[in-house]
Structure formats: structure tokens, C-alpha cells
Amino acid sequence: MSALRQSLASYLAVRRSLGYKLERPEKLLGQFISWLEDAGAATVTTEHALAWATLPGRDPYWHAYRLAVVRGFALHLHTTDPAAEVPPAGLIPARPHRATPYLYSDADITALIAAAPGLRFPLRLATYQTLIGLLAVTGMRVGEAIRLDRPDLDLATGVITVRQSKFGKTRLLPLHGSTVTALRDYLRLRDRLCPRPATPAVLISPAGTRLLYCNVHATWKLLAAAAGLQPRSAACRPRIHDLRHYADGWVMRPAVAFRLLGAEELALQSA
């Protein structure tokens, strides 16, 4: 392991000990260090940080975010490597912009779930139908859903325990009866198709592993396109995150997401 990667591991460990999750910064900093290694750079410089942060493909706000991630790491690195340069704050001026929530109708949710049979593998089909339905009727965040483990699911009482939520909090979510039925159907199917998964996660891939955040978003784009969902403006595009607004916060709406066919029947139809 290179000195830069050792410093990155130390930086992430210190920050996580303070309660930060750093999933995206870890990925970006890993890419930045790979870029430095390809450029033959031994440490962080402002010139290299700016060049990497402004690589083509995204808007100025994304460039500013990438540079801010590098700046945090550079501050840490400079304590042990005086040659490391810390990019000045505000080097890339950019105002943050918030996306306009994409509010889904019952028909939109039904179309998304109906698009799932286009996915390969029966277990992948059932997993994404269940994920979309669960997000829609509970208001969970994507990261919370893919972190769910079997002990977090109490179907006897119809309650989900959400751990490692925002600000490290834990909360309980009540489930609609139809959601409990759908989850039981999904678990029965996944246990038959993958009797020995490699993870305690509720939602698993065909390989029996926990879902990855990046793969969920890639699959979401396929499903949204297949369902015919269109942007309503430049700032209002169909995002998986906005499924949580469908549940109207704590007011549970009828579980429209699970009104099609049972997960097992759908999976068998696509097998």
C-alpha cells in the first residue's frame, strides 16, 4: 500500500470515529489517488487537485464538491507531510442547487414495479420490486433499505428497525399489512433461490450479496426509463431518493406498490 493510500485509510478512520459515514468521499478520494499515481505525483498539490476536480463531465457545483473532498484530505495529510498543499477554500465558486422533488403518482409506482420483469434473474427482479415498494410505502432512504438485516425485520409485529440513520439515529417504522405480506413472499422466494446468502441483508443480489448503492442507482435508471418516467424540468428528474416522499412522511398510504402480483409469481413468470 502506498503512503498516500495509508494516509487515506488513516483519514477515513479518524473521520468515521467522529460519526461520519464518508461513502462518497471514500470513493472519490480513491479515484483521486489513482489519478495522482497515474500522473506520477508523490503528494497532493493544489494544481493536481484542481485539475482532477474539474475533469469534464459535470457541472461547477460537482467540481466544487470534488475539490472540497480533496481539501479535507489534504488538511489531514499536511499534518504528516509538509509538502502536501491544501487547496484554498472557495477556489471553485459554485452555489449549491437543490433538486426539485419528483412526486410519484400511484401509476408511476405501478409502472416502475411492472418494469422489473425486464431485469435478468428472478431474484434480481423480486429484489428490486421489493426495494421500490418498500421505499415508496415507508419513506426509507435507499441506504437505510440496503443496510437492513434480517433481525431488523419483525414481521410478527409489522415493524422495521432502521439503524445507522441520519445523524446515527435508530427509529422504528410500522408496516401496512400488505407490505408485511409482500416482504414474507419476497423472503420465501429469496430463501428458495439463494438458500445460503453471503450476507445477513434482507435485500440481496442474485449472487447472495448485499446490494451496492451504485448498482441500485444504475438499475433504477433502467427501470425509470422502461417505466416511461420523464423529467418535469431541468431540476425535477425521477430520482430513487424521491420515492420516500410518496409515503407522505409518517402517514402510511395504501400499499399500492404491492398490489400487482406476489413477488414469487412474478419471478416465476420471468424465469
The catalytic site residues sit at 141, 166
Pick the closest to residue 135 from 186, 190, 164, 175 (CA basis). 175
CA-to-CA distance for 190 and 219, rounded, in angstroms? Answer: 19
Closest residue by Cα to residue 68 from 84, 88, 39, 48: 88
Helices (H), the chain: 3-17, 23-39, 46-53, 60-78, 106-115, 122-138, 142-146, 177-193, 213-226, 263-270
- Is-contact 131 164, C-beta < 8 A? no
Phi, psi of 160 (to 5 degrees): -105, 135
Q: Is 167 helix (H, G, I), strand (E, B) or coil?
A: helix
CB 127 within 8 A of CB 86: no
Calpha distance 67→45 (Å, rounded) = 12
Burial of 33 from C-beta contacts in 10 A (0-12 / 13-18 / 19+)? buried
